[in-house]
Amino acid sequence: MVSTALNYVNGTWKASGSGQTKESSNPADLKQEVGFYQNSTAEDLDQTVQAAKEAKKGWSKLTGAERGAFLYKVADIMEQRIDDIATTASKEMGKTLAETRGETNRGIAILRYYAGEGLRKVGDVIPSTDADALMFTTRVPLGVVGVITPWNFPIAIPIWKTAPALIYGNTVVLKPASETALTCAKIIECFDEADLPKGVINFITGSGSVIGQGLAEHPDVNGITFTGSNSVGKEIGKQALSRGAKYQLEMGGKNPVIVAKDADLQLAVDATISGAFKSTGQKCTATSRVFVEAELYDEFKDLLLKKTAELKVGDPLSDSSWMGPCASKAQLDNCMYYINKGVEEGATLLTGGNKILSDEGFYVEPTIFECEDHSQTIAQEEVFGPVIALFKTASIEQSLELANDVEFGLSASIFTTNISSMLSFIKDMDAGLVRINAESAGVELQAPFGGMKQSSSHSREQGEAAKEFFTSIKTVFVK
């Protein structure tokens, strides 16, 4: 049965005042509607923010352990619903069921990690120059936090922003990507059943330009955390800055893999395929440029093409599918735009480049270009689709120079067995996440995550780093 997701405001499921809903569709099955979500208005948003504002005092007064107990409860409830949440996510955005199941498990682990944070230290004692004084730092919540999330990790990202916001004593207004509103509603159901105090977590769906922008501009929203496109992120940053709210932006990537002549070939090829094509390339950490030293280039290329030809593209709900469709028509069009640009600008199309199964959904072939000119669009701009730009280089130094020659700096990998190549990569690669002999995608929940250059607002998410964003430091002097 097709369901309609309601907003969740002050502990109650509520329809939008607009009386309108929008359809969530299945990118793998154009005939199937997954459900409907509320097309909310600015007035709905005001009520939602008001609920979060009223709840913040009571929530911030609970101990970390008490707040943590709620998060443990949400995790336990979610554990009972893994299949339902994962299936809804696969239907809404086309990632394979294996991946959405993995993502749901990751969401549960994130909830438990931050539940434990409620018992960890929040400050330091700092020696004062006054012998009779005690000086220390403590941390206080920001207040109401607006959470704006994308569709590509529809389970993990809402949780990795919401769980730390809550554990450090903030209340939350969550606006999910419209594409995956129903998946997010299923996560909120778990919070609802865990009986968090009213207004602590609120959920509102609707268009980015009304609800997303409205959150960024709202005078009662004290912090905004966003993952998505650069253009939207930068506007959110400007709006937050102009009214003195704290903001955190995670945006695009153009992530390189460097393959040295001494690399483990099988490992490098497998990691390139997984990094570039899992989730149909729709990860900000996806591999999109590959630089291979000349001595290994032909062997690498042959194996990459052979293994790419073996990938099975199809229905994300089928166990035999390795890669699903693009998440939407807009994403498919975007991907085809870049593929056409690659051909127009003279890159050699080695494999892929076509839409497939078009009667069924928004499918595209895994695509590999052989390139010589690093200034080409497909080597510079984020594609957010299963497309690799492959380069032959004269040395690791040249690979590194090209790897850094983009405006992004999120994630980067090198495959080498030489320790000094590893060390220079760690030192000289401009990326927030540098990975040695491992694919460019893959984030661990207990470690800081974020980018350099245009990839982020230079803040970090996840692990202990989340504390820096979701709290303010107070320096206390007692005499």
Q: Is 431 helix (H, G, I), strand (E, B) or coil?
A: coil
Cα separation of 67 and 157, whole Å? 20
Per CB under 6 A, contacts with ligand NDP among 315-354 are 331, 334
Q: Is 408 in the site for ligand AKG (CB under 6 A)?
A: no
Min. distance of Cβ 357 from ligand AKG in angstroms?
A: 24
- Six token digits for residue 345: 């600008």
Place of tokens 């990790």: 153
Min. distance of Cβ 410 from ligand NDP in angstroms?
A: 8
Min. distance of Cβ 89 from ligand AKG in angstroms?
A: 14
Cα separation of 115 and 41, whole Å? 33
- Do 386 and 276 contact (CB within 8 A), yes or no? yes
- Do 335 and 382 contact (CB within 8 A), yes or no? no
Q: Is 207 helix (H, G, I), strand (E, B) or coil?
A: coil
Partner whose footprint covers residue 390, from ligand AKG, ligand NDP, none (CB < 5 to 8 Å by kind): none
Q: From residue 319, give the alpha-carbon distance in Å to each of 98, 130, 272, 282.
A: 8, 67, 22, 20
Beta strands 348-351 and 367-371, pairing class: antiparallel
What does residue 363 show for φ and ψ, rounded to 5 degrees?
-90, 145
Q: Is 331 helix (H, G, I), strand (E, B) or coil?
A: helix
Partner whose footprint covers residue 228, from ligand AKG, ligand NDP, none (CB < 5 to 8 Å by kind): ligand NDP
**Of the ranges 88-96, 147-155, 267-275, 386-394, which one interacts with ligand NDP (CB under 6 A)?**
147-155
Min. distance of Cβ 200 from ligand NDP in angstroms?
A: 21
Q: Is 384 in the site for ligand AKG (CB under 6 A)?
A: no
Partner whose footprint covers residue 88, from ligand AKG, ligand NDP, none (CB < 5 to 8 Å by kind): none
- Beta bridge partners, 351, equal 368
Q: Which of 17, 64, 208, 442 binds ligand AKG (CB under 6 A)?
A: 442
Q: Is 293 a catalytic residue?
A: no
Min. distance of Cβ 127 from ligand NDP in angstroms?
A: 42
Q: Is 284 in the site for ligand AKG (CB under 6 A)?
A: yes
Q: Is 441 in the site for ligand AKG (CB under 6 A)?
A: yes
- Do 208 and 232 contact (CB within 8 A), yes or no? yes
> Which residue out of 103, 250, 439, 461 is catalytically annotated?
250
Binding site for ligand AKG (CB under 6 A): 152-153, 227, 283-285, 441-443
- Catalytic residue annotation: 250
Provide the binding-site residues for ligand NDP, judged by CB under 6 A. 148-152, 175, 177-179, 207-209, 212-213, 216, 227-229, 232, 235-236, 250-252, 284, 331, 334, 382, 384
